[in-house]
Amino acid sequence: MVTKAAFIYIAPKNDPKVHRAVIDSPVINLTVVGVANYDEAEKVALELVSEGITAFELCAGFGNEGTARIAKCVGDKALVGVVRFDLHPAFGHKSGDSLFADSSL
């Protein structure tokens, strides 16, 4: 059986309709999606769950708050894992929580 998984990465100006790819392999079908903030990540996660995704990996841009939001959002419908640097080198060594928690940014 093939697992359907997703990797969500976060960065300003990402558009989940444009910044998206699917990698099919014999064991895992991986959907990669870029989002611009935590609100958008929650919407994308719910869409992906409705498409059969059962596991998520979140990029290091998601801080503790962002990770908790996605885990709460998908509930028991999918597992959520994270890549960790809380101070992300691509974001001026800031946490995603300080950049993306306020979706008005």
Q: How does DSSP assign 65-90, residue by residue?
A: HHHHHHHHHHGGGSEEEE---SSBGG
Query: In this model, does residue 86 exceed pLDDT 70?
Result: no
Query: In this model, does residue 96 exceed pLDDT 80?
Result: no
User: Residue ranges of the domains in the chain?
Assistant: 3-100
Question: pLDDT-derived band of residue 92, with 50, 70 and 90 as boundaries?
Answer: confident
Query: In this model, does residue 105 exceed pLDDT 50?
Result: no
Q: Do residues 48 and 5 touch, judged by C-beta distance below 8 A?
A: no
Mean pLDDT on 88-102: 76
Which fold is adopted by the domain 3-100? Rossmann fold (3.40.50)
Q: What Cα–Cα distance (Å) separates residue 27 from each residue in 40, 54, 95, 97? A: 28, 13, 32, 33
The more confidently predicted of residues 48 and 91 is 48
pLDDT, the chain, mean: 91
Mean pLDDT on 37-45: 97
Q: What pTM does this model have?
A: 0.84
